[in-house]
Amino acid sequence: MKIRHIFTLLVIVLIASCTHEVINSPTDPASPIDVGRGGITPTTSDTVCFNSQVLPLYVSYCGSNGCHSDISREEDVITTSYTRIMEGIRAKNASRSEYYTIINGEMPPRGSPQMSADQKNTILKWINQGALNTNCLNSCDTTKFTFNDPIKTLLTNNCLGCHGTKPGSGNVFLGDYASAKAYIGANPTNFLKVINHDPTIAASKRMPPAGKMVDCQIGQFTKWVNKGFPQ
Ligand code: HEC
């Protein structure tokens, strides 16, 4: 093959591989969409977003201190960043992705909160889509702020790996409506500082520890708290 042909082929391959990363713009421009932490691409497509859907699961269920965090590095496994998570993931090959197969078996250890079937499916789908470092947010609707939608899901995905079984990290248990309402209701101002990573509180108390939720999600929490914890 002539160099020119090889080059053309290469360009085609590159373009083809790039199209997987294209994230569709929202089909419903009327729904309020937040573009939270820098560079987030809104999407209502089927693409699983690493940053907002996969990373929080690995951080919450695997990456707490004492386990696979930057500090404790159990077995030299860290699950708090894309690069480190990719050490145990093979794109499009879930059965050979150790960090996927293990969540269907040994990990998290018995007695710790386990990922749900839905959450595992999200990870599986992400692997099958190429395990890309997609940074986007499925439309986050600022008009929704009840516990059942979306607070419960936000807690499940971002917090319950550490706060989902009693007593919970830092003695904070947020595993059901009554407990979350009682704990947060006792000091709502502090809670809002905690999730806003307010610089006036100790760094260890800024939640989730691996990085703030996106602004729209913090907004949903804020409304839920300020409106008296509607169920
Ligand atoms: C990776 C584990 C982990 C995740 C995920 C996590 N937390 Fe925490 N959380 C902790 C630890 C550890 C402490 C105790 C920190 C301390 O006392 O310094 C804590 C403490 C807290 C506190 C008490 C702070 C205070 O003022 O004493 C609140 C409230 C809290 N977390 C809420 C949340 C919420 C809400 C989420 C999800 C949005 C979340 N956490 C996610 C580990 C986690």
- The finding on whether 103 has its CB within 6 A of some atom of ligand 1 is no
Q: How many CB atoms lie within 10 A of CB 189?
A: 9
CA dist 138 and 154 (Å) reads 13
- The finding on whether 168 has its CB within 6 A of some atom of ligand 1 is no
Distance 206 CA to ligand 1 centre (A): 7
- 128, 130, 131, 132 alpha-carbon torsion, rounded to 10°: -150
Give the C-alpha distances (Å, rounded to integers) separating 12 from 8, 16, 17, 74, 134: 6, 6, 9, 42, 22
Q: Would you state the pLDDT for residue 42?
A: 45
pLDDT, tens only, 30-74: 333 333 333 344 444 688 989 888 998 888 888 776 777 777 777
Distance 64 CA to ligand 1 centre (A): 10
Poorest-pLDDT segment among 41-45, 102-106, 191-195: 41-45
Distance 163 CA to ligand 1 centre (A): 7
CA dist 208 and 196 (Å) reads 10
CA dist 8 and 205 (Å) reads 53
Tokens in use for 90?
């093979």
- The finding on whether 63 has its CB within 6 A of some atom of ligand 1 is yes
pLDDT, tens only, 15-39: 333 333 333 333 333 333 333 333 3
Distance 183 CA to ligand 1 centre (A): 12
**Which residue is closest in CA terms to ligand 1's atom 30?**
207
**149 pLDDT higher than 80:** yes
Distance 175 CA to ligand 1 centre (A): 13
Peptide bond into 208 cis (omega under 30): yes
**96 pLDDT higher than 70:** yes
Give the residue with greater pLDDT, 218 vs 45.
218
Per the CB < 8 A criterion, the answer to whether 45 and 24 are in contact is yes
Which residues lie below 8 Å from residue 37, measured CB to CB, with a gap of 6+? 51, 211, 212, 214, 215
Tell me the average pLDDT of the chain.
80
Q: How many CB atoms lie within 10 A of CB 197?
A: 17
**Which residue is closest in CA terms to ligand 1's atom 33?**
207
* Nearest Cα residue to 216 out of 127, 128, 151: 151
- The finding on whether 108 has its CB within 6 A of some atom of ligand 1 is no
Give the residue with greater pLDDT, 113 vs 150.
150
pLDDT, tens only, 220-230: 999 999 999 99
* Nearest Cα residue to 159 out of 63, 72, 84: 63
For ligand 1, mutation pick of 151, 158, 166, 205 (most atoms within 8 Å of CB)? 205
